[in-house]
Amino acid sequence: MGTNVNKPSHKAGLMTGAEAVVQSLVAEGVELLFGYPGGAIMPVYDALYGAEDQLKHILTRHEQGATHMAQGYARATGKVGVCIATSGPGATNLITGIADAQIDSTPMVCITGQVMSSLLGTDAFQETDIIGISMPVTKWNVQVTKAEDIPTAIAKAFYIARSGKPGPVLVDITKNAQFDQVDFNYVPFEGMRSYKPVPVASTDQIKVAAELINNAKRPFVLFGQGIILSQAEEEFKAFIEKTGIPSAWTIMGLSALDTDHELNVGMLGMHGNYAPNKLTNECDVLIAVGMRFDDRVTGDLTKYAKQAKVVHIEIDAAEINKNVTAHAPVLGDAKDILKQLIPLVKENSHEQWLQRFKDFEQEEIDQVIREELKPSKDIMSMGEVIGQINELSNGDNVIVTDVGQHQMVACRYAEFKQSKSMITSGGLGTMGFCLPAAIGAKMGVPNKQVIAVIGDGGFQMTIQELGTILESKVAVKILLLNNEFLGMVRQWQELFFEKRYASTIMVNPDFQMIAKSYSIKTALIDDRKNLEQGVKEMLEHDGAYFLEVRVGKENNVFPMIPSGVAVSDIRLK
């Protein structure tokens, strides 16, 4: 994970624990801190007040927003995202974002205030056992009750958060520890005997993997976020280009390989592309790189790739053989393993096998994609809106999505030419993720165009973060695809519950009026003839922009793999 090379120098010497917190963050190269103040963290906020030249604090409108902003920042930059909150409800409001970061392997350090150590266990005002609550969803957590332990705890937190398979870490600091004095001297954490974040890959297993790949007639690569996290994009590209193997991505792996690359055959999973899902059960060697065989990718495991020999390249030993048995498990860092694997594999093309993917792709184009991107109906589709963004930009946008139909459409149709340019909530599927994550991403990469693609349901879960845009003047573009439904749930209700739309119809407010009240420039499009100009104005506007597009209320996202069936049973209609 990256660090800030232009970080200001931290102070040293005698200071309060609260000041030590701030100086520890400065020493770690933290640029932005997302948070919300309260009683138990007030000493740290007081220390921040005099350190504006070293560390910028972004006041969010809810603690959950702070976690998602830290996530968006981390995912866009490759650095550790940092958020801060008070005890009790402030701390518990972080949990959703922490859980999201844990399952999506996002490096994040969360700092919470806690009641005085003398009051621990007494049910004091705003006391909550955040260590016990957060333990299942953190990579590591710790409670600090003495000022002298603060620097070491924070150094260890950053090391654990960013090393190996990244994840969220929580440091809970009692109020007395923040007030007490410490002779501060920051020493970066360099490791411990009990924690080996990057396993050393077995050369024997790499040779076994190479032999399987070289002898394969119908090999197929599945790649995930591990490519991005290990910064292995170039090695991965070299590997597939040498071997000529068709490659498909999980939504967390999207943008690791250019979407228009000739060997990129599309998205895996429930609403993925037709070809990669159909042909998973026809390949003879399945090579998984930096992905964990999530149930949305595999469908019914009893019918998943049973004909194939499986090569699994993965940094986390817990993922090996967890869902899919690997014939050649290669445990280690993807970048290092690919470097060793490339000289061992033979140059190949697999033209006939690749043609099978192209044939299925054409079938999907004819039956689904053409109508989705260029609808013959009067009503607009989500796909044509994303297509318009593609036409008016060059694929270097950072797209952030919420969760639902718009998420699947954006992942399916948005074009990417740079890594770290698709940010979404994958494993947890957190509605409300998009708006704050887009704010954090834009703050992390201010020179890039960041577009928040969001639905009317998820938007209202963290809509208060429009206040953060107002205060911090973040030039994020918000594209609201409004179908007045909780669209993904409604689609399932239509297909599997006889159109009983139980609690999925949305009675929405005037979003235009709300955005304007936060001094954000807005536009509403409900006619296709205005779409191109509306998207163009959004992209060209210098500052935050809110574009609401009214799309079909009962449009469905296809292809689709129904629950409990094989991936090869994917439906085009």
Active site (catalytic) residues: 63, 125-126, 175, 488
Query: Treating both helix axes as pointing N-terminal to C-terminal, what angle do 17-27 and 150-162 enclose, rounded to 10 degrees?
Result: 30
Residue 537 CA to residue 541 CA, distance in Å, equals: 6
The rounded Cα 570 to chain-centroid distance in angstroms is 25
Task: Please say whether the beta carbons of 37 and 45 come within 8 A.
Answer: yes
* 27: phi then psi, degrees, rounded to nearest 5: -65, -30
Residue 147 CA to residue 173 CA, distance in Å, equals: 9
Burial of residue 6, with CB atoms counted within 10 A of its CB: 0-12 exposed, 13-18 middle, 19 or more buried: exposed
DSSP string computed for 124-175: -TT---HHHHHGGG-SEEEEE-SGGGHHHHHHHHHHHHHSSS--EEEEEEEH
Q: Can you list the pairs that 457-460 forms with residues at least 24 positions away whose Cβ atoms lie under 8 Å?
A: 457/402, 457/404, 457/431, 457/485, 457/486, 457/487, 457/506, 458/402, 458/403, 458/404, 458/431, 458/432, 458/433, 458/434, 459/402, 459/434, 459/435, 459/511, 460/508
3-state SS of 1-32 is: CCCCCCCCCCCCEEEEHHHHHHHHHHHCCCCE
Residue 109's DSSP bridge partners are 82, 169
Residue 558 tokens read as 């296809």
3-state SS of 476-510 is: CEEEEEECCECHHHHHHHHHHCCCCCCCCECCCCC
Task: Please say whether the beta carbons of 186 and 10 come within 8 A.
Answer: yes
Residue 257 CA to residue 502 CA, distance in Å, equals: 40
